[in-house]
Amino acid sequence: MAHGHSSKEKVVYVGDSRVKKRSYNPEQPDYTAYPGKSEAFIPNFLLKEWMVGVVALVAFLVLTISEPPPLGYPANPNNTGFVPIPDWYFLFLYQLLKYPYASGSYVVIGTVLIPAVMFGGLVMAPFLDSGKERRFYKRPIASSLMFVSLLAIIYLTKVAWNGYEHELKELNIIPEHIEREEKAREAAAAGKPTGQAKPGGKEVAIVDKDDPAMASFKKATCVACHGADLKGASAPSLRGIGDTLSKDEILKIIHEGKNDGKMPAMYDTAIGAGLTDQDIDHLAEWLAKQKAAQ
């Protein structure tokens, strides 16, 4: 299928295998039935579309600058108290699974059947709603199904979100990404490092392991959260705590607690467990001695 060498062509291919050039005649959908002013895509229409794009981008950039993306604390599989929440556009599904007929032994209804019917219906919409009519008010069945689904999704999302907020309030939890951000801001103001301490690396040893304070540490139930070896469990590790806190600061935390009671005031518990003020004083002194660098 050689094209035949016309003298006008500057480039000549030997054994020409090109598809024959079609005359340039793009198919135009016919809009003459709709009187009005149509215009070329480039540049006339695209310009208008890009004005919209410019406005959208400005709004978007303002959002990203003013609102930092949320980031919580490193994932800790042992954290049994975390209230999980999916991204907002999955909330309705998440809420659906809390209802009795979509959970327990009926869970398949909530996880498979309802989503399958909904999404299946959506995919097949052009074949289910195959009439000629396009106006939504002349397709009452399709439109009302869509309206009802929309309302249901909005309602479920709202209920899920309210439930989440309520649960946080009841358990007195501040969402981690907010807490982390506030702490980072405080730390930055105090000139301390703002990041999360990375585990591993060089292990910090316990200073004066045989000190009687170790026994007080156990007796006062500190071990319950901070671990028998001070390595931390549900509460942070106390190894090397002396690097960041002084004895007086530690005493204050024992007396008053910290983080809105996540670290509760433990003084009374310690006294109740049979420790004396002197023991507690010594415990704080010993903790303040826990420094990473010897």
Q: Which of residues 91-120 bind another protein (CB under 8 A)?
A: 93-94, 97, 107-108, 111-112, 119
Pick the closest to residue 293 from 243, 223, 219, 233 (CA basis). 243
Bond from prior residue into 86 cis (ω within 30 degrees of 0):
no
CA dist 235 to 90, 95, 97, 194, Å? Answer: 31, 31, 32, 19
Rule CB under 8 A: choose which of 1, 17, 20, 41 binds another protein: 41
Question: Of 4-33, which residues contact another protein (CB under 8 A)?
Answer: 10-11, 21-22, 24, 26-29, 31, 33
Question: Of 132-161, which residues contact another protein (CB under 8 A)?
Answer: 132-136, 139, 142-143, 146, 150
Q: Quick one: 34 or 100, whose CB is closer to another protein?
A: 34
Cβ pair 238, 288 in contact under 8 A: no
Rule CB under 8 A: choose which of 16, 82, 144, 212 binds another protein: 82
Q: Quick one: 7 or 294, whose CB is closer to another protein?
A: 7
Cβ pair 221, 266 in contact under 8 A: yes
CA dist 188 to 74, 178, 195, 197, Å? Answer: 20, 15, 10, 15
Minimum distance, C-beta of residue 81 to another protein, in the bound complex (Å): 3
Q: In the 8-state DSSP scheme, what is residue 41?
A: I
Name every residue whose Cβ is closer than 8 Å to that of residue 219 and which is 6 or more positions away in sequence.
Answer: 270, 273, 274, 275
Q: Quick one: 9 or 248, whose CB is closer to another protein?
A: 9
CA dist 131 to 16, 121, 123, 137, 218, Å? Answer: 50, 16, 16, 13, 76
Q: Quick one: 143 or 281, whose CB is closer to another protein?
A: 143
DSSP per residue over 98-133, as a string? TSGGGSGGGHHIIIIIHHHHHHHHHHTHHHHS-SS-
Minimum distance, C-beta of residue 87 to another protein, in the bound complex (Å): 5
Question: Of 182-241, which residues contact another protein (CB under 8 A)?
Answer: 184, 194-196, 198, 200, 221, 223-225, 233-235
What CA–CA distance (Å, rounded) separates 150 from 273? 58
Q: Quick one: 123 or 205, whose CB is closer to another protein?
A: 123
Question: Where does this chain touch another protein (CB under 8 A) — which range of 84-92, 240-248, 275-283, 284-292?
Answer: 84-92
Question: Of 249-288, which residues contact another protein (CB under 8 A)?
Answer: 261-262, 264, 266, 269, 272
Using CB under 8 A as the binding rule, whether residue 62 contacts another protein is answered as no
Minimum distance, C-beta of residue 215 to another protein, in the bound complex (Å): 15
Question: Where does this chain touch another protein (CB under 8 A) — which range of 68-76, 209-217, 238-246, 279-287?
Answer: 68-76
